[in-house]
Each structure stands twice: as structure tokens, then as C-alpha cells.
Structure 1
Amino acid sequence: MNKKTSSFLQNLRQLNINICPLSSTSVGRTMKVDPLGLHKLKIAYQNSILKNFLFVDSLQKPQLSVRFFCQGVLAFHLEDNKIQKRRLSTLTSVPFGKLLYPRRLSFNSQCFFVSDTTPQLSTDGLEKIMASTEHDLFHKEKKSLAVAKYRHLIQECNSMSDLLDMFSKSSRFSNCNYFIAMWRIAKNMSEDQKRVERQLLYKHPAFNHFCEQVLKEAKTVNLKRLMFTLHAVIKIGIPQNTYLVQVLLRLVQERINECDEMGISVLSRTLEVMEASKNVDALREGLRLLVDKQIWRLEHILTLQTIMKSIGKDAPYPLKKKLELRALNELNKFSPVNSQHMFGALAAMNHRSVLLLNECSKIVAANIHGCPFWMLMNILHSCRHLQYQNLDLFTAIADYIITTFDMWKIKQVLGILSFFESLKFRHIGLMNLFLTRVLDESQSLNQKEILYILHIYSSLNHFHECQDQQFLEVITSALNTYLPKISSLNLLKAVYSLCLLKHFPQDPFNHLLQENIINELLLPVNKNEMVESMLHQVNACLELENTSVLHSKTLTLKECSPTPSRSNVEVEDVLLELLESKRLFLKDVRLPHNYLVDFELRMDSRRSQIFPVSEADVFKAEADILRVALVCVSRSAFCLGTTHPRGKLEMKMRHLKALGFHVILVNNWEIKQLDINSAVTYLKVKIFSPEAFPNTTEFGVQDLK
């Protein structure tokens, strides 16, 4: 027997004691509980004679309903202290109110049911029923009046200070609700407006007294209102280190076990924007424990995502995994908006779930049209944070930007391209279209935009076949206007980007090569590995590239040790298997300008034969001997999903060729995926020319495809 059935029986017993006790044998009844949990008790009365009267709720508000199967039952109405009766012979459905136990029973003074043989109701019983009804009606009217006043008050006030003015005159409703009302007003304001409103709020003479009243009330209000109060206080912008916020945090800590799903959602949204502190950390830890306990009871996907954003990056891995599994179980319910928000949720707790990201990427890519710009930026930012690359998703976003290109500002498209660059994604159509936009609006570019454009196009090694030279001239001209006020570090970055693009304009280089600029860059404050590396690269371009105008202006820099290469054990083993002797290649060959070659071979000019080499004669190659550089590269050296080399690799290949090498790129990830025999075939195809081993080469290429 469930709780509702038990309460109903207690109600009937109470009525029997107070009004007209009856024998237990006079009534036959069957209780049927709704299995779907729709809160509708079905009571089938087997006897045609009811020995007790039943109750109906107040007519003021619809309540829980009970269906009665009535035969021969009379309905009595009180009119002018006279009882009018009406017989019910069909199915009647009437609502009933609160039960006597554990809740108070509410009676309607206008109507009650009796059977044909029911004794008359006593005057005392009727007075008790009418008094109870009037009491309930009073509370209902009072509650509805308070809600109406609350809504009216929010409509009347245009600022948070107006609410305090109303509070100081007369407090019309709960003190905590004032803060909630303040947040409802403030959330539609700009940040500047909020800042001004907060200052006026702090200076208001009633503010301190108001906070005292809120703290007093917070100890007794229900948890839902307490949660919303804390959320409103934080969202308004009241500092976390204030006594008000800290007390509210402690009160929530004490009652956190009472949280239902809504409470968890509100608390998660609050903690998401709060800075770390002892009380915040303790509350976040309590939330983690609560979520770990109730995670499989959560019904709403948005609540799940809000929790993921708030539990923190340092949350235990098992909890992150549980949240991931819970999200995977709900994938069939994901809307496009849910899929969009999942990227930010995973990034917020620093959990890279490739399976979940892949599924959400499919939904986002299929529903990309209409996705707001800020959401696109959030998705790409999360992908960068999680180091997640999805070619289909990025292509869908780029195609969407192209389709709606005219509606985006140049700053917005540049933001998208900046994220694409960090994700190593090169979309030729979008970059060409943006390049045309730059040519048309070059006069409106600011210094920051110019630096971003140079960085993106040089990093991705992107050239436009028709407009490349014009683009370089236009962007250089725009850069020249900022040379007098550009910082030395930004100037170095701009010149380095121009070097990657193989463009050497005189004005930026001359400005950079001034002694005071170089000395400033080499100061301990600015000096780091990145600055030193860029200076060496610029110096290498001045010496090795075709820069006749600037050839005499090389830099005098200290030699620094080259960056150690990654372990290439797999490639070395394949080389030994192929050449059968260590005397036929050199490993980790250091060259001028801080360059390092993984393996060097000596071959004839037709690349058909390999000669023994030694460290002594590395730089004494004869005219008919070809120096071959095997450069082992990772997948990140190329643009995503292509074999198009990025800027640094392209410049290294140019400089190695200038130093007299024939460059061969060896893809590390491909070697690792092949067995030893296939790897030998792969490397043989790479090293020897097609004319040397036509059959082997043809077989190797087909095999790799």
C-alpha cells in the first residue's frame, strides 16, 4: 500500500471518529493505484450504499482528482440553509483536496455527498468543515496576492536601487526574493550598466539593513529559494569575499543533501562562475559527491551539461567518466543545441571523449545553418583546448561562413580563421575569399588584425595563385603605416611571418635590423627560446634566400644548440634493414643556422646508388655526389587532412635545398603503421628515383594506396 492510499484511509478513519462512526462491514471498497504514476487514485465502490460522506475540494483551484463509480448516491447542495438533493446514477469525477493526515483536509461548504441512508450531518461537523475551508481559501488568496505583488513590483522597478527603495518603504514579500528580482532586472543590462548599478546599490542607505534581513531569512527559507538567492547574488556581481556571500555558501553546504535536480542545476550554474576559495571548493566537492550519487536519476540533458561545466577540471576521473557515460546513454535525445553545448561542457572539465565529440560533431555539422557566431567560436575554442580535430566539422563550419560571408565582419571571419590555424586546418575556399576581402578593405585594418592575417597565412603556408603578390604588397603597405609605433616583439613576429611567406620588403626588415631594436629583443625580459629561434630564422633567410637588397644586413647572433629531434628508432631500423650497413647513412647531422637533419645519405646524381659516408667528409661533397636529407616529420607538420606542408616545414625545406641537399620527407606515423617489409618498400620508394627501380617503385606506391 503506497503513501497516498495510507493517507486516504487515515482520512476516512478521522471522519468516522469526528462525525458518524460506522461499522467496518457496511462499506465494501477496492483501492486501485495508477501504475503510471499520474497521481490519479481510482476507487471502485462495490457496494451501492455508502455509509459515510465523501469530500470535495474548494472550487477556487483545481486539485488532485479522484474518480468515483457511484450508484444511488445523492448530491446535496446547501442553498439558504436548506439542503437540496440530486441523485447521481452515472460515473462522476470530482476533485478532492488535501488529506487530513499528514495534510489537512479541505472541504467545500457548498456541496457534499451522502448515500440514501446517510444520517444527517451535525451542526458542529458542518461548522468545522466550513471553518477549515475558509482557512484554506485565506491562505490560497494570500499566496496568489503575494505572487501578483511580486510580478507587479518587478514591472514597476527599472533598477536594483528602485527595489531597495520599495524595500525601505515596506517589504511586500520575502527578502530573498528582492535579490532574485534584482538579478531579473540586471541580466538584461550591459556590463557597464551593471557596474554603475552595483555602485548605486552599495551606496544605498538601506543596503546594509537589507543584507542583514536576507541573512536572517536565509536560515529559514526553503532550499530552492536559498539556491536562487545565492545564484542571484553572484550573478549581480557582489564580491565573493563579502560576509553575505560566505554565509550563503555555508548555509547551502549544510543543506546540500536536500537538493533535487533543479537544486543541483542552479548550484552548478552558480559554481560555474565562482572563483576558487575554501567555501567554494568545499561546496564544489559536496556537489561532486551528490552528483556521483544521483547521476543516474538526472532527467534533463541541460542539467547534465551544467554539472559538467561546474565540477571543475580537477574532478576525479571516475566521476568524469560517469558523466561521459551518462551523456552517451542520452545521445538519442540530443538536440542540435545540446550537441553544441557538449563541446564546452567537456572542455570545462578537461575531459576528451572522442566518441562523444564525434557524435556531437555529426549533429552540429548537419545543423550548422543558423548556428550563432558565438557558439561557433565556443565550439572551435573547445576543440583547440581538447586537441580535437574533425575535418568534417571544420569543413561544415567553413562552408557555412562562405555561404553567409557577406553578413560577417572582417573581425569575425578573422577569429574563425585564427582558430582554424591553431587547429592546423586550411580551407582553401574560405582563405581565398577572405584574401579578396582584405584587398578591398586593407585601409580599415588595425595593427592587431594585420599581425593575425600574417600569422595565419604564413603558418598555413597559403598562397593564392592569382592574387598572392598583390596580397603581399597590400598587407606590407598596411604594416608600414604602423612601423613607427609597433613594439619590437610584434615587429619581429611580423617580419618572421613575411619570411615564412618568402617575402622580404625592405622597410620592415630595415626597421627590425636597427641595433636598438635587436638589443631590446635580446634583453632578459624579452629573451626566450621563441625570440631566439625567430631571430635565427630571419638571419637564415637573409643569408640563404634571394634577398639581394638585404644581403649585407645579416645579424651577429650567438650559436644555440638545435632543438633535439624526436626519437626516430623505427625509421633507423627500417634504414638498416634496407641498406644493411650503418656506414651508408649519418644520423642527427647538425647544419648552420640551427638546422638538424635526421638522416643524411650520399647518392649519385640519378639517385640510383648509395655511397658510404663519414662525419669527416660531410661538408666535402664532390660535384657528382648528391647529399640527401631524410627529414622525419609528424602529422602536425602538415595541414589537417592533407600533405600540404605548413610554414615552418616549407621554410626548412627551402633552406636545406639552399645548403645543397635533396630533401625527402618521411612520415613517422606511416612508418609506425606498417610492418617491417612494407616499411622497407615505403622507404625504398622515397629514397630511390623511379628510374632506378621502376618495378619496385610502382609496386610500393600501389601498395601504400
Structure 2
Amino acid sequence: MSHKAGSFLRNLGQINSLVPRSRTLRLYPLKFCRPKIPHSNWNLRNFLLSDFDNGIQTSCRYLFQDAFILKSGDGSLQRKDISIASVFRVDRLHCPRRLLFFNSKHSLVSAETFDDGLKKVNVDPQFSSGAEPNKEMKPTPISYRKLSQECNSLSDVLDIFSKAPTFPSSNYFSAMWTIAKRMSEDQKRFEKQLMFRHPAFNHLCDHMMREARIMHYDHLLFSLYAMVKLGVPQNTLVVQTSLRMVQERINECDERCLSILSVLLKAMDPCKNVDVLQAGLRILVDQHVWKIQRVFTLQTVMKYIGKDTPVALKKKLEMKALKELDRFSFLNSQHMFEVLAAMNHRSVALLSECSKKVIDNIHGCPFKILVSILRSCKELQYHNLDLFRGIADYVSTTFDIWNLKQVLLLLVLFENLHFRPIELMDLFMKKVVEKPESLHMKSIISVLFVYSSLNHIDKGQHKEFLEGMSSALTGCLHHISSENLLNAMCSFCMMNYFPLAPINELLQKEIIDELLTSGDVEKNVLRLHILDTCLKLDDVAYQSAIDLPLPPPPPSPSLTHAKVAQVLSSILGGEGYFARNVQLPHNYHIDFEIRMDANRSQAFSFSEADVTSTNIQRVAVLCVPKSLYCLDLSHPRGFLAMKMRHLNVMGFHVILVNNWLMEKLKMEDASMLLKTKIYSVEALPTTDVNLQSTY
């Protein structure tokens, strides 16, 4: 009886490959039946592969789209395109010994065409025929965690595999990637070279291809991810075979595998196999998004599903996330910003709710998370004053635990968002005044840019700050580039400060010639014009300007501002009392000009007013968009503040009209607002007052 049973099992193993696949039960050569997978009813074949038997031919069509890597006679690696006609059909991918192998030189060679330099893998006939091995022949299975703990290098893992290979081979790839993550970049690069030259690596790849159909789906995904991260070329057969098996068995994808598959696709380079699998993943997610139970899985899928995902699917994922908000931890809320930025989907409702949780749990938030949140807000164009103030207040409160480099990075990110953290900038300024030598050249340029762009002035230590930054910049003149020097000096000019040594260096003829002929010439020309204007209009001890003729800057855009013109006509008594789109010297442009008496109590028509009269006050009306203000919409940014300062020097009284506000107001309210601004008895500062400290 025992003999008959053993004979039956051997025969069963031999005909295993002939048994049609079941969607609910699969018989494996290791003689155990895998239970029905919970998500086996997730059928993509109607969407992805209409006829799965014919889909095998389709898989071959996609499988070999890329080039094989062949070894040339001189030992170098060459690419050789493989046409569709030259591809042999893989019958269910069950012909492992006809597949290609890696040789010791990390090139792909055929087991049937190359005899030198390559040893075929000796496979026991019992294994190849599906027979069950004897118990004495079975090596003890070993987990990838144990392998990664016991081994210190990738070669150690391959040595263990060569002594006693165990199923599944995915454990060895996963262990090698786990070990590689602990290494430095240089060590990792060296270990990968040893891995490709190791003789057991050929055998491991062969085992991987033969086991790709029978190992658990999550093991298959982990091993393919490990191979990609270990640098195995994506157009090699071992990777493409595993990728094709992932496609074929996608119905086995449960919730855990869904997150692994999302990360895997993000790590791989685009190719037709990857594109097909990406499409399959999106169909799978679209059908079963409401069945996802874990927030982590949902966020992983959202993060890696791709920016080009259809908007309808993005909306469905957004609704699922909103439905799960009550289950969000503060870590999930922090991570949601990066997730939405990676998906390129701006969900104000989701961002607002996550912002509240971030603010409530801001203390102890890691620096990396703060940077990620601010960068994501920039990408999503999401401006939340409460969130930014919460982050800035937290960093100000814990200022001593941060180094200057970290704080400066946060300030740069705040500037990108047009947010001015007053207290934090004052603390940073104080630290710079105490230790100006702690800043290197790039930090100096970044600090000057942030403070000039946000027009931030601390009256108590402004002078000491500018002197300290000037001294630090002077110490870098021997190795600073021309463009960096121009950027730094442009920032100084916007803050109405002119250090002599950097100006002397910058105004040299060869430096100006270099700026006008190399690099970003258009940007350099614009900055040179700003420098030239400041040297001519501001109170500069160094009375000089740029001698070389500069190319004309791009013209300022002329907008109609029809509503403002209509309101001015009704207030002043007709269009003859103001001029539109007035172009001034130094490339300055004003939207409207009004001529009034010195007390600004009466407006004159342009035919009556004499510009040369001492009793005439010229009024410049500037229609200002939100982008020229800081985020609180009350503090003008650097360029606007500099323009107002220069218009005062040119004899103008400046009135700012907010575009977004005028569009919202009714005509009566808009007229009242402009009348108050034009006829106000309160005068703005005179020309000798620095407007930087006024706004």
C-alpha cells in the first residue's frame, strides 16, 4: 500500500505541469495545496488580457521589447536589439533550462551556445520531472531575516545558497537587499560588483526563474523589488521573467501585495511590461479601493500610483482618504502632504484636516517631516497661514536644538511660500550677528536672498546684520563666481545697502562681460539693471554706475485694469485727470498717474498741470497682485518695496491698489476706498526715509 501511494505521488508530481490552472486552488511541486486567495475574485483579465491563453503570446511580445546585454570579444558589454520574430515562445515559462544565465562577467549568455566560461546548472532529474525529493535531500528552509542577521555581505548570502539551496529563492534576494541597505554607497557599489561575479549568482537567477510561478505572490514581489534595487539590469531575462509572472498572477494581489506592487513599479524604469503592469494596478485599485482597510496601504498606493493617473481615480482615492480621516494618526496626517504631492492632487479638504492634526501634534515633529510638509505645500500651491505659523512658532520655541543649516533651509522654504516668519527670522538674524563666520558662501547667498525677498528688517540689529553679511561675503570674494556675486549684490541693493569691496569686484569690466555672455544671460541682464538703478537713485557712498552699455530688459507687461480706470474717472471727473500705463526711466512702469496739488486735496487735468511747477504732486497708482505681497497680504516683498522707494526718490506719492480686492468690491465701495487713498491727508514717508522699514 505504501509503495502504491508513493508511486501515485510521483506520478502526480510529473503531470503537475499538465494540469490546468484553477483560480481557486493551485497544486505545487512541493506537494501542498495553496488555499484560495481572499482576492482571487479580483479579475483583471477582462480588462488587461481578454484571452489569457492568447495572452501568453502577448506576454512574449512585451517580454523582450528591450535589448539583451551580450558580452563582446573584448569583454565589454554591448546592447543588441532583439526583434519580435527572434523571440521563442515560452510555454507558460516552464522551460527553465533553456533560459539565459549570467556568467561570471555579469553578461547574459545562452546555456546552449556558450560552453567556455559557463557551467550549466546540474539539476537532479527527479526535480526536473516533478518528483518529490527525499527527506535527506531537503535543506532546512531559512528566512531572509535570519540570513540578513547572520551574513555581513552579499557574497556571504550567495555562499550559503551555493552550499544548500532552499525554497524559495526570493529569501536570498531579499536578504541581500536588506544587507545592502546597511552599507555606505561606496561599500554597496563594491559588494554589487562581487555579487555579479560570484559563481552562485548564475544559479540563484536560474532558481528564481524556475520558482517564479510557484512561490507566494508577495515573495515574488519582494524578490523582484530586491533585484531592481540591487542593480540587476531591468532588460535581463531574470527580471523580465519575474515581471511577467507578476503580470500573470496579478489576481493573487491582496491588500499587502497592493502596497508592495505600488512601491515596486515606482522603483522600475518605464518599459512596456512596466506600463502594462501599471495599467493593471490602476484597474485593480479602481475596482477595490473601497475594500482597502489599512491607512498605510491606502497612502502607499496613492503615493506611488503615478502623477498621470486619471483624475477620476485620484478623486476616488481622495474620497476614500476623507472617509478614513477618523482613523488617521498624526503620523498619517504628516505623511498625507507628501502623498498628495507625489500624486499631484490638490485636495484642500484633506490638506486642511491634516493641517489641524499636524498643528496639534507639532512638538517633537522631526525636521525631515517639516521639510517634506513645506515642500509639498509648495508643489500643491497650498497656503495655510495657521500651518506655517505653527511650524515657525515650534522652530522658534525650540531654536537652540536646531543648527543654522536646518533653520536656513526652513527659511528658504518659507520664502518659496511667500511666508515671513518674523520671530524666527529675528532669532536667526541674531545668531548670524553673533557668529557670521559660521556661514559658508552658499549660505551667505541664501540668507541675503531670503531677507531681501521677504523685505524683513529688524530695527534693533539690522545694521549689524548687514555689516556682518558684508564682511562674510568679502571673505569669499577670492572664490565666488560672477553670478553668485551678482545675486548677492542684488540682494544687498534691494535692502538699500552697498558694501564697497563687493561692488568694486563686481563692476570690473571682465566680470560684466562674463555676465553678459555666459550663464543665464537674461537673468543677469535684469539683475544688472537693478544694480545700476540702485547705484543711480539711492543714497550710495560709492557714486558710480555700470559703464558698459547693457541690453534692454524685457518690457513690463501693460494691463488695462478697466475697473480701476472706471472708478478713477468717476472720482476725479473724467479720464483727462489721469494717465494710463506710464513708462518711467530706469524701466519702471506705473499703471496710473494723477497730478494733484501739494496737499493732495485737488486733482488737475493733464492739460492744466505743469509738471515743472513746484506746487504739483505726482501720484503713482500701482495695481498690485498677491504675488508681490507676503502671504499675510499686508507686507510688500522686496522688489515692490524697492520700487516704492525709487518712485519716492523720483518725486511720486505711491498708492497701492490690491487687484483681488477691487474685483470683489462693488463700484460704490471701490470708489470710497480709492477716494480715501487718493485724498487722504496722511502723507507717506518722504524721500529720505527708507521704505524698507516702513512696510
TM-score (norm: length of structure 1): 0.75
The aligned amino acid for 1:498 is F
Which residue in the other structure is 1:703 paired with? none
1:12-411 paired onto structure 2 within 5 Å: 146=140, 151-411=145-405
Query: Secondary structure in 2 aligned to 1:483?
Result: coil
Q: Which has the higher contact order (CA 8 A, sep 6+)?
A: 2
Does 2:629 align with 1:638? yes
Contact 1:621 1:627 in 2 (8 A): no
> Distance between the aligned counterparts of 2:338 and 2:301, measured in 1?
12
- Judged with a 3 Å threshold, the aligned counterparts in structure 2 of structure 1 residues 149 and 434 are, in CA distance, closer, same or farther, namely closer
Question: Per-residue deviation at 1:618?
Answer: 9.4
Evaluate the alpha carbon distance shift between residue 608 and residue 619 of structure 1 in structure 2; reply closer, same or farther with a 3 A threshold: closer
Compute the displacement of 1:465 (Å).
Answer: 1.3
Name the structure 2 match of 1:540: 533
Deviation at 1:269, TM superposition (A): 1.5
Select the residue among 594, 597, 615 that pairs with 2:590. Answer: 597
**TM superposition shift of 1:279:** 2.6
1:261 CA drift (Å): 1.0
Go from structure 1 to structure 2 and tell me whether the alpha carbon gap of 1:545 and 1:406 turns closer, same or farther (over 3 Å shift). same
SS in 2 for 1:270: helix
Q: Per-residue deviation at 1:574?
A: 2.2
SS at match of 1:285: helix
Alpha carbons 1:562, 1:596 under 8 Å: kept: no
Alignment partner, residue 434 of structure 2: 440
Does residue 649 (structure 1) correspond to residue 640 (structure 2)? The answer is yes
1:582 aligned to 2:544? Answer: no
1:153, distance to aligned residue in structure 2 (A) = 3.3
Secondary structure, in 3 states, of the residue corresponding to 1:263? helix
CA distance in 2, matches of 1:284, 1:416: 36
**1:400 partner amino acid:** Y
**Structure 1 residues 180 and 301, CA gap change in structure 2 (3 angstroms):** same
**Aligned counterpart, 1:665:** 656
Q: 1-side partners of 2:657 and 2:262: how far apart?
A: 49
- Going from structure 1 to structure 2, the CA distance change for 1:683 and 1:379 (only over 3 Å counts) comes to same
* Equivalent residue in structure 2 for 1:687, among 672, 678, 694: 678
Asked if 2 retains the 8 angstrom alpha-carbon contact of 1:542 and 1:554, the reply is no
2:475 corresponding residue in structure 1: 481
**One-letter amino acid of the structure 1 residue matched with residue 507 of structure 2:** L
CA contact (8 A) 2:597 2:603 kept: yes
1:288 and 1:148 mapped to 2: Cα distance? 35
Q: Greater Rg, structure 1 or structure 2? A: 1
Cross-structure match for 2:602: 609
Distance 1:466 1:306 in 2: 49
Q: In the alignment, residue 545 of structure 1 is paired with which amino acid?
A: D
Identical aligned pairs, as a percentage? 52
Residues of 2 paired with 1:624 and 1:597: CA distance? 21
Structure 1 unaligned regions, length at least 5: 1-137, 693-705
Residue type at the aligned position of 2:637: R
Q: Deviations over 1:634-660 (max 9, x none)?
A: 122111114111111100101111111
**Is the CA contact (8 Å cut-off) linking 2:139 and 2:165 kept in structure 1?**
no
The farther-off stretch of 231-240 and 264-273 is 231-240
The equivalent residue for 1:626 is: 617
CA contact under 8 A between 1:309 and 1:349: conserved in structure 2? yes
> Cα deviation per residue 1:116-155 (whole Å; 9 max; x = unaligned)?
xxxxxxxxxxxxxxxxxxxxxx99x99x995566554333
Q: For the Cα contact (< 8 Å) 1:608–1:688, is it kept in 2?
A: yes
Counterpart contact for 1:589–1:597, Cα < 8 Å: yes
3-state SS in 2 of match to 1:375: helix
CA pair 275-412 structure 1, distance change in 2 beyond 3 A: farther
C-alpha displacement at 1:284, in angstroms? 1.6
The equivalent of 1:700 in structure 2 is: none
User: 1:446-595 maps to which residues of 2 (within 5 A)?
Assistant: 446-523=440-517, 525-528=519-522, 530-553=523-546, 555-595=548-588
**CA distance in 1: counterparts of 2:564 and 2:630, whole angstroms:** 22
Question: CA separation in 1, counterparts of 2:560 and 2:413?
Answer: 30
Residue 235 of structure 1, CA deviation? 3.2
> 2:203 and 2:559 mapped to 1: Cα distance?
66
Q: Deviations over 1:331-371 (max 9, x none)?
A: 11111000011000110011111111111000001101111
- Following superposition, the deviation at residue 438 of structure 1 comes to 1.3
SS at match of 2:618: strand
Give 1:658's aligned amino acid.
V
CA contact (8 A) 1:539 1:555 kept: no
Shift of the 153–548 alpha-carbon distance from structure 1 to 2, 3 Å rule, reads closer
CA contact (8 A) 2:581 2:590 kept: yes
Shift of 1:436: 1.4
Structure 2 CA distance for partners of 1:387 and 1:604, relative to 1, 3 Å: same
For 2:233 and 2:676, the matched residues in 1 are separated by: 66
Distance in 2, Cα, partners of 1:417 & 1:539: 28
CA distance in 2, matches of 1:469, 1:281: 59
Cα distance in 1 for partners of 2:581, 2:208 equals 71
| Partner deviation per Cα, 1:228-285 (whole Å, 9 max, x = no partner) | 1122223334343444333322221222233111111101122233333333222222
Are the aligned partners of 1:150 and 1:173 in contact in 2 as well (CA < 8 Å)? Answer: no
Distance 1:436 1:524 in 2: 37
Q: Name the amino acid aligned to 1:246.
A: Q
What is the SS of the residue equivalent to 1:206?
helix
Moved more, 663-672 or 548-557: 548-557
Q: Residue type matched to 2:616 in 1? A: I
Cα 1:415–1:242 shift into 2, 3 Å:
farther
